[in-house]
Structure 1
């Protein structure tokens, strides 16, 4: 069995201005701070002699490859993404970038923001526009019913609030 894996389907090419800023900041940090620090550590470890058994050298080289790979990925991704920085005209409808508050029959609420696939973070309530939840919400209006799979059962939610960040 080989190591070949089929390519993952490309995510959507949209991103919020905050997500784009975070990606640029990560590239800047990795390239201007992290990489020079690791390069210096590798150089210092190489001066100690036998590199084949030098854990600092081996780990440092591995970390440099990881940094270079991540910088290459982020740079290519930043070239192809579209920053969505304008608000929709109809703000009573769910579009990319919206904060959506959902309420179930027991009055439990959940709040999600629909963002690009490069910036999702479920703990912060940021869900990818490619996710099943976001696809179910996109295009819906205030007070619409949405059925979502929660813990392997269908639950009906109502959209109680839609807001956009200025």
Structure 2
């Protein structure tokens, strides 16, 4: 099994979700199943079937998170010297050479990616184009509208 790159923050968020599932969600579902059983005939008991389905989703997510955390390779860039190189976990500000528009992205694992918060997956085309490059490098990134040239104007190890 290959290691899954993850920021320290991403691992912490998964641990919080796992704790919530085990200490709040799972006991609530068990109580819902017990209550639904008291309503009698299980064949026609919608509450029972809904609770059992919820239980399946909950247990599946618990297993998924535990597997991810056990295979996580936590990368904390704050503990590394900033040599201007774009790597997993860095925050990169790029300048669109044609439009002068600046965009700031943090390169994170697939689970943490959230484009609305400028968190991009290490596997996204933009991140793949940036990783390994240096501050002040120019990069061409394929977009749906064709190649766009960007200049890396800031690399932060936050």
TM-score (normalizing by structure 1): 0.87
Show CA shifts across 1:54-76 (max 9, x none): 21111110000000011011111
**Which residue of 20, 23, 43 maps to 1:52?**
43
Q: How many residues align?
A: 156
**Aligned-CA RMSD value:** 1.6
Unaligned runs of 5+ in 2: none
Kept in 2, the 8 Å contact 1:38–1:60? The answer is yes
Q: Which residue of 1 aligns with 2:119?
A: 126
- What's the CA shift for 1:81? 0.9
**Which stretches of structure 1, 4 residues or longer, exceed 3 Å deviation after superposition?**
none
**2:136 counterpart residue number:** 143
- The alignment's TM-score, normalised by the length of structure 2, stands at 0.91
Task: Name the structure 1 match of 2:6.
Answer: 15
Question: What stretches of structure 1 of length at least 5 have no aligned partner?
Answer: 1-9
Confirm or deny that 1:31 pairs with 2:29: no
- Report if the CA contact (8 A) 1:12-1:116 is conserved: no
Residues in 2 aligned to 1:152 and 1:12: alpha-carbon distance in whole angstroms: 34
Among 105, 110, 113, the alignment partner of 2:106 is 113
